[in-house]
Amino acid sequence: MEEGNHAACQARRRATDPPRFCTRCGRKLVVQVLPTSWRAHCVKCGPIG
């Protein structure tokens, strides 16, 4: 990761993006965004959130 303050990038992504990676195993999550919610699951670790 490059040096620098990434707080702004992370804040921006938190506002516009659901989780993308499983925090337990690092796999890409299967994410379904819906008009008023979202859901995500890891194929190994199960549902997220």
Partner 1 sequence: MTDDILDVAREQVLERGVGLSQEQLLAVLRLPDEGVPDALELAHQVRMRWCGPEVEVEGIVSVKTGGCPEDCHFCSQSGRFDTPVRAARLDIPSLVQAARETAATGATEFCLVAAVRGPDPRLMAQVREGVAAIKEAVEINVACSLGILTRDQAEELRDLGVHRYNHNLETARSHFPAVVTTHTWEERFETLELVREMGMEVCCGGIIGMGESLEQRAEFAAQLADLEPDEVPLNFLDPRPGTPFGELESPSAMDALRAIAAFRLALPRTVLRFAGGRELALGDLGTRQGVLGGINALIVGNYLTTLGRSPEEDLDLLTELKMPVKELSNTL
Residue 21's CB is within 10 A of a number of other CB atoms, namely 13
Is 5 a binding residue for partner 1 by CB under 8 A? The answer is: no
Q: Whole-angstrom Cα distance, residue 44 to residue 25?
A: 8
Is 35 a binding residue for partner 1 by CB under 8 A? The answer is: yes
Among 1, 16, 46, 47, binds partner 1 (CB under 8 A): 16
Is 45 a binding residue for partner 1 by CB under 8 A? The answer is: no
Q: Whole-angstrom Cα distance, residue 16 to residue 36?
A: 13
Residues of the shown chain interacting with partner 1 in the complex, contacts defined by CB under 8 A: 12, 15-18, 20-21, 28-38
